Chains A and B, each alone.
Chain A
């Protein structure tokens, strides 16, 4: 026997609108629930993205190559030659989209008033631009012009702490490979703002060539930083690079470089799922109630359909189709509402009023909600999947009705 799907659909659709007030209220509840699921996950994803990106900005680079002892002792002693041969070939292959090499050593920066311990980045501005690792905003002056620029770019907070200013000279000081003091004077050519004020305190940008000269490194670098298409999948960049480096070099993704940061994504995905399920559980009571009432009100009709020869399985299917139609309508309204309300906010919401608190969570003064198609799909799957499960009880009860008793209902 063919499944009379068109008949069941038509019946289910018309039955939904028999009590249109109840259907509209339930529809609204589902739509608001779906909207809440998507909005909540967009905000949560936006926060996590910012935390991860802030973390990546302090690395910076999604995958890094170091001399194998560099992580334990990030000094000039553990530098490595610049990429060449197989490694250079591997770096220029997709899915790698850009890379750069830099010097990165602990250093001191001194003004005429104060000194601070910092991380000195000797960078090639062109390479940093390519991997998107430039400071967030240059608030005064400019960034370094090229790999030979002799200026220095400081964070705004560091400038305040050193009591220095644009155009003034500071002294950069570290150690060369022979453990001798290596230093040079540099003029402040730019001041940057970072999403995290702590970054402004820590990272000092100088051009790579003068830094290598100061540290007597020749052409050696501390690290090679690499990016691909999506930071969430940067682990896939590791194997081809690992095959191309020497025994003395180590290729690590940002998840390995900063396991805490890596675990945040998993935690976020877990929380998103839990929130979605909790929202749905609240919703499911309304859904079950609606269907139970619909079955109760139509007991006589259900008995009639059984009397006319509709198998119990078809009765069950009809109630489930009704539920799926209700859920689908709610999903459409909820998804569209979420898209319309959250998409315009993706350019950022000013949360400077709570900036200090947010900085503790490695976030800046602007929250960028991230509307993700996967979250919309997940919420859809949860609503449909759990919705059908929740509807099984009233549907089963309908299918098990005794036709004689059901027909006797007034």
Chain B
């Protein structure tokens, strides 16, 4: 256990990996297309679900790196 009196901070360069996870899913030009389809599902639907991978990876990295 760390000394509770030592200054602790949430600041970390790794926090920046959260940024693309927030920005990328908000760019319609990336996903607002019909083709290519995946198992018959248009790009619009499967790519937006695939963005979950970025979100999960980013939060996982920050959790791992900043874990006590």
Q: Do A and B bind each other?
A: no
Chain B contact residues, CB within 8 Å of chain A: none
Chain A contact residues, CB within 8 Å of chain B: none
